[in-house]
């Protein structure tokens, strides 16, 4: 390797780190009450800051990865992240708001190591799995209501709608609609009980 190659290899991660620091600073400057851990990663287009809408006193945990692109290479659907007042994303979460809107209501919390995905890759016979247009349907985006608790290590799939005051048990995979005020859990998640009522069925074990 030449000296130029060594210098380039040395500078590349420094440039990447500087870029990520600038992106994080811009989010914090725009949302003055944001409580984001310094290790949280903000990945968005430089002109996409408007696609990140945070209410008052939002919390973002350590080592979370927040990706927001209003325009993505493989989708015509706009990507946005909207979080209500006092909402929170926990340690190590992966939130991918591209190809759809991810909305988290006021007072709701997404616990540690959760994954929220706004759009699916399209799957067609004989086509590459990654470099193809994403699905375009009413299943794009995620809606999480107010006062919702999403337990640790959950996966919330595109098109999921979780009603106000619902609870999602740890380790669940959520697709479709969770009505307000219900506890759901399992793979895929299903209703366990109405919160404050009797258990409807045993939790999923698979």
What tens digit of pLDDT does each residue of 151-191 get?
999 999 999 999 999 999 999 999 999 999 999 999 999 99
| Average pLDDT, integer, range 62-79 | 83
Mean pLDDT of 126-146: 74
Candidates 67, 68, 84; CA nearest to 31 is 84
User: In angstroms, how far is the first alpha carbon of the chain from the final one?
Assistant: 51
Q: Which helix (H) or strand (E) holds 7?
A: helix 3-30
Q: b or e along 2-32 (b: 16 or more beta carbons within 10 Å of the residue's beta carbon)?
A: eeeeeeeeeeeeeeeeeeeeebbeebbeebe
Question: Which pLDDT score, from 0 to 100, does residue 75 have?
Answer: 61
Report the pLDDT value the prediction gives residue 54, as an integer from 0 to 100. 98
| C-alpha span between 134 and 182 (Å, rounded) | 31
Catalytic hit among 31, 47, 121, 131: 121
Over the stretch 190-201, which tens digit does the pLDDT of each residue have? Answer: 999 999 766 665
CA atoms within 13 A of residue 28's CA, in its CB half-sphere:
15
Q: Judge contact between 195 and 149, C-beta under 8 A.
A: no
Average pLDDT score over the chain? 88
Report, as an integer, the average pLDDT of 41-60: 95
Global pTM reads 0.86
The more confidently predicted of residues 138 and 167 is: 167
pLDDT of residue 204: 44
**What is the radius of gyration, based on Cα positions, of the chain?**
19
- The torsion region of residue 107 among left (phi > 0), alpha (psi -120 to 50) and beta comes to left
For the segment 52-76, the average pLDDT, to the nearest whole number, is 89
- State the CB neighbour count (10 A cutoff) for residue 113: 19
SS3 (DSSP) at 80:
strand
Q: How wide is the angle at C-alpha 166 spanned by C-alphas 160 and 171, nearest 5°?
A: 65
Spatial contact of 91 and 112, defined as CB atoms under 8 Å apart:
yes
- Is residue 121 annotated as a catalytic residue, yes or no? yes
The predicted model gives 126-155 an average pLDDT of: 81
């Amino acid at each position: 390797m030449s000296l130029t190659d060594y210098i380039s290899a040395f500078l590349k991660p420094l440039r990447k780190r500087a870029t990520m620091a600038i992106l994080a600073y811009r989010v914090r400057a725009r949302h003055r009450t944001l409580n984001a851990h310094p290790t949280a990663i903000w990945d968005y287009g430089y002109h996409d800051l408007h696609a990140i809408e945070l209410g008052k006193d939002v919390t973002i945990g350590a080592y979370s990865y927040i990706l927001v692109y209003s325009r993505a290479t493989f989708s015509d659907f706009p990507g946005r992240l909207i979080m209500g007042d006092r909402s929170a994303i926990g340690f190590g979460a992966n939130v991918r708001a591209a190809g759809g809107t991810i909305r988290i209501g006021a007072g709701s919390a997404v616990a540690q190591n959760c994954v929220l995905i706004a759009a699916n890759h399209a799957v067609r016979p004989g086509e590459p799995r990654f470099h193809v247009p994403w699905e375009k349907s009413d299943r794009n985006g995620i809606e999480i209501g107010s006062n919702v608790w999403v337990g640790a290590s959950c996966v919330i799939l595109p098109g999921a709608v979780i009603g106000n005051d619902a609870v999602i048990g740890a380790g669940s995979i959520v697709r479709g609609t969770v009505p307000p005020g219900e506890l759901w859990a399992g793979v895929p998640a299903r209703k366990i009980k109405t919160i404050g009522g009797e258990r409807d069925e045993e939790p999923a074990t698979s």
